[in-house]
Amino acid sequence: MRPTFRALRHIALASSLLFGIASQHAMADDGGKVTIMVGGITKLIYLPARLTEQLGYFKDEGLDVELLSQPAGVDAENELLAGAVQGVVGFYDHTIDLQTKGKEVKAIVVFGQVPGEVEMVSTKAADSIKSMADVKGKTLGVTGLGSSTSFLTQFLAGQHGIQSTEYTMLPVGADASFIAAVKQGRIDAGMTTEPTVSALQKSGDAKVLVDMRSVEGTKAALGGTYPASSLYVQAAWADTHKAQAAKLAHAFVRTMQFIHTHSAEEIAAKMPDDYQKDKALYVSALKASLPMYTADGKMPADGPETVLKVLSAFNPSVKGKHVDLSKTYTNEFVSSK
């Protein structure tokens, strides 16, 4: 008996539905390349990104991961929103800022329980800047306008009643460009990370003003732990790529455990030579940075509230707005294995 037209149509419809479901599944967990933009890949705050690659943990999970670098986290964020990359290794605070702008982004692995940032004051300006209470009329270096360094700079100055209109924030990037800005006198002080901090101290061009490389220093400056360096993705991507998200999280958690069970010398030995032109300086900077890393990739319990408090103090996008912190991060993937 030959099938009727109606039966054929039902068969075709069912086939198309099955194909559509299969296609969606393939899109969700197709095992394709994952591109991650890092907000300054040589910064020690973002060391887990390159270290995971160097240790072979991405490959162990069957992942094809490409790491790219932008000098400022805000630029990496823009790449994510444009769909050019699947993830960003940057500061968690961007997820809160973006939620108030209608963008659903969440951190799925937390690398740093504290910022790892240091406000450095140029030796030339050290006599006139003894604390953040003295920055009125000064030029302060940040990686980029709208970056996490600009958020933290505004908060630290605001604690002393100094508004952002009373000083100049100059985007100077990181690493060599930050050092050049200090040496050339273009900034009086500025926020940067290791190994730039140690390089400036060694050369004698700058001194530490505010140190947020440890939990103690961060609590003194910000009032609590401040989860910072993290892997964040668009929420929709995490929902439709759960297998890839879990594999990424597992690879990074292995790296966090490696960091906590090895010395600075052993960790440095795994990093590319061009990251550590001065090996002794690099190891010294890494030793100073080790306290900032989480051991398990999980969000510190008190962290999101501290970050929201900091952003609400000065950021007009966040101040007075309702923020659902539960949507800005998840421990689901780091806990999945």
pLDDT by residue (tens digit) across 251-299? Answer: 999 999 999 999 999 999 999 998 888 999 999 999 999 999 999 999 9
Same domain, residue pair 53 and 189: no
Please name the residue ranges forming H helices in 89-136: 93-99
Instruction: Please indicate, yes or no, whether residues 248 and 164 belong to a single structural domain of this protein.
Output: no
Q: Looking at the structure, do residues 202 and 291 belong to the same domain, yes or no?
A: no
pTM score, two decimals?
Answer: 0.84
Rounded to an integer, the average pLDDT of 1-24 is 41
Per residue in 17-72, pLDDT (tens digit) is 333 333 333 334 456 899 999 988 999 999 999 999 999 999 999 999 999 998 66
Angle at 262 between CA 261 and CA 264, to 5 degrees: 140
What local confidence, expressed as pLDDT, does residue 74 receive? 67
Judgement on whether residues 288 and 150 belong to the same structural domain of the protein: no
Q: Pick the last residue of a domain from 155, 178, 212.
A: 212
11 occurs within a structural domain:
no
DSSP letter at 333?
A: T
Domain hosting residue 144, numbered range: 117-212
Is there a single domain that holds both residue 111 and residue 231?
A: yes
Is residue 215 over pLDDT 60?
yes
**Within-domain flag for 13:** no
Burial level of 40, CB count in 10 A (0-12/13-18/19+)? buried
Specify whether 111 is located in the same domain as 134: no
Q: Would you say residue 333 lies in a domain?
A: no
Tokens 């790219």 belong to 68
205 and 245 fall within a common domain: no
Three-state secondary structure call for residue 157: helix
Q: Which two tokens stand for residue 71?
A: 């000098």
Same domain, 161 and 148: yes
242-260 and 47-55 helices, crossing angle to 10°? 100
Domain C-terminal end among 212, 239, 262: 212
Of 186, 212, 238, which one is at a domain's C-terminal end?
A: 212
8 within a domain of the structure (yes/no) = no
Q: In this structure, are 99 and 130 located in the same domain?
A: no
Three-state SS at 274: helix
3-state SS assignment for residue 106: strand
Residue 69 within a domain:
yes
242 and 292 co-located in one domain: yes
Residue 12 domain-assigned (yes or no): no
Instruction: Please indicate, yes or no, if residue 4 is contained in any of the structural domains.
Output: no
* Average pLDDT estimate for 167-174: 94
Region 94-99: mean pLDDT is 94
Query: Are 176 and 314 in the same domain?
Result: no
Residue 183 lies in a domain: yes
Bridge partner list, 87: 36, 233
Residue 71 has a pLDDT of: 66
How many distinct structural domains can be found in the chain? 2
What CATH number does residue 257 fall under? 3.40.190.10
Q: In angstroms, rounded to a whole number, what is the distance separating the alpha carbons of residues 291 and 276?
A: 20
CA distance 251 to 268: 19
pLDDT of 9 above 50 = no
Choice among 236-240, 309-313, 329-333 with the minimum mean pLDDT: 309-313
Are 99 and 285 spatial neighbours (Cβ–Cβ below 8 Å)?
no
Do 237 and 301 reside in the same domain of the chain? yes
Average pLDDT over residues 230-237: 97
- Please name the amino acid found at residue 93: D
Cβ atoms within 10 Å of 43's Cβ, excluding its own: 26
